Structure 1
Amino acid sequence: MSFHDVRFPLDIAFGSAGGPGFRVDVVTLASGHEERNALWAHPRHRYDVGLGLRSDDDLHELIAFFKARRGRLHGFRFRDWQDWKSCPPLRPPAATDQAIGTGDGETTGFPLSKLYASGAQSYRRLIRRPVAGTVEVALDGVAVAALDVAVDHDTGLVTFAAPPAAGAIVTAGFEFDVPVRFDVEQLSLSLADFRAGQVPSIPLIEVFS
């Protein structure tokens, strides 16, 4: 996958709409009962950034960004302002936010992830595009020095210089972006329409590397 390690303009992203979606096949039986089958194990996020345009300058910035990505050709980073940290929205990330693995005395690499829990059910999301400079790691609640751990910001893999001891709980805190691309071949923009209050639809869709 061709990916540009640049982030979509934050101000425009702040006004966007969208979120995760699962693909589920629903069959209604003659009795009226349903059979439901999950076709995707993981959700795919979609957004519409047209809602975030507020000025002529925003339009100019969007056009430049679209052209530099060659439309749908290259992926890029996008901040989902509804979900972009390892913790609740009003808290700063901390090294103990998310459990990402348990040491066995041999393994050195642990992928970043975020757990979403509701009642007895939960879903764990792999974090593939952490934000540089925001990842903090701890072992059994004790912060690990930056020199003792490396973070791959293209995959979300955390690698220790020495394997954590068997039974040690590995936790992490971080900010993250969603890898996306434009899901439209051409921008259909009219400055006159925009100034008249008509908002264009500019869809983005999550990409998986």
Structure 2
Amino acid sequence: MTPAAFPTLPGQAWSVHKRPTFSTRIVSNSSGREARTPLYTYPLYEFELTFEGLASTSALPGLGANSLQSLLGLYLQCQGQFGTFLYTDPGDSAMVGQAIAVGDGVTTAFPFVRTLGGFTEPVGWVLSVQNVYLDGARQTGGWTLSTPNNLTFLAPPASNVFISADFIFAFECRFLDDQNDFENFMAGLWQVQSLKFRSVKP
């Protein structure tokens, strides 16, 4: 079952905070040396958003009709920290020509990944795939998107064939708190000064 989508609302304000988070076990000794063990292979991402204007009626279309219900409804649907939803980061969701893997003549399913600088990690949930390429040649068929984030071929790509794709992905997330403050500061107008959530492992 596909989780609900986080709504795109015109009342969202700046700034947006995005915090990649790792976990490291560190043991120090008297000589000053340290032994460090990474506990996460890939980071979790924490987001913090602010909404300066949410409308509880349809009288303020510039803020999105009933935008309060859209956001508050998602929070209630998730039961706070319990449920998950899909957040599409406007600045980090579209990949073009992303290298996925190299075929081995046997494997048919490959996880979608994205590369930032020299760091490659799996993506949370692929929303759509525009193109798939084998050695740079666009494939018009022979592949499917397997939810949530696998590219599956009907026949295994040949050995040493370079697999790449154009796709859009979202972060599967949960809220960080079981309560959140929705402030009614004028008739029909609401705001949320801080809404925090973080990604979950695929």
Shorter-chain TM range is 0.7 to 0.9
Aligned partner letter, 2:123: I
Structure 2 gaps, min length 5? 56-65
Count of aligned pairs: 190
Question: Match of 1:158?
Answer: 151
Query: 2:127, 2:35 → 1: CA distance?
Result: 40
C-alpha distance 104-14 of structure 1, shift in aligned 2 (>3 A): farther
Query: 1:206, 1:176 → 2: CA distance?
Result: 13
Question: TM-score, normalised to structure 1's length?
Answer: 0.77
What's the C-alpha RMSD, in Å, of the aligned pairs?
2.9
Contact 2:68/2:190 (<8 A) preserved = no
Query: 2:12, 2:103 → 1: CA distance?
Result: 38
Query: 2:187, 2:32 → 1: CA distance?
Result: 47
Query: 1:162, 1:177 → 2: CA distance?
Result: 27
For residues 1-209 of structure 1, the aligned pairs below 5 Å read 4-11=2-9, 15=14, 16-25=16-25, 36-49=36-49, 51-56=50-55, 57-86=66-95, 93=96, 97-117=97-117, 122-132=118-128, 134-145=129-140, 147-154=141-148, 156-192=149-185, 199-209=192-202
Q: Deviations over 1:17-55 (max 9, x none)?
A: 223122234566666666644232211111123x14433
Q: Which has the higher strand share?
A: 2
The alpha carbon displacement at 1:109 in A equals 1.2
Contact 1:103/1:164 (<8 A) preserved = yes
Question: TM-score, normalised to structure 2's length?
Answer: 0.79
C-alpha distance 36-53 of structure 1, shift in aligned 2 (>3 A): farther
Contact 2:127/2:169 (<8 A) preserved = yes
Helix, strand or coil: the match of 1:54?
Answer: strand
Contact 2:52/2:190 (<8 A) preserved = no
C-alpha distance 80-13 of structure 1, shift in aligned 2 (>3 A): farther
Contact 1:131/1:177 (<8 A) preserved = yes
Q: Deviations over 1:72-98 (max 9, x none)?
A: 221110012231122xxxxxx3xxx12
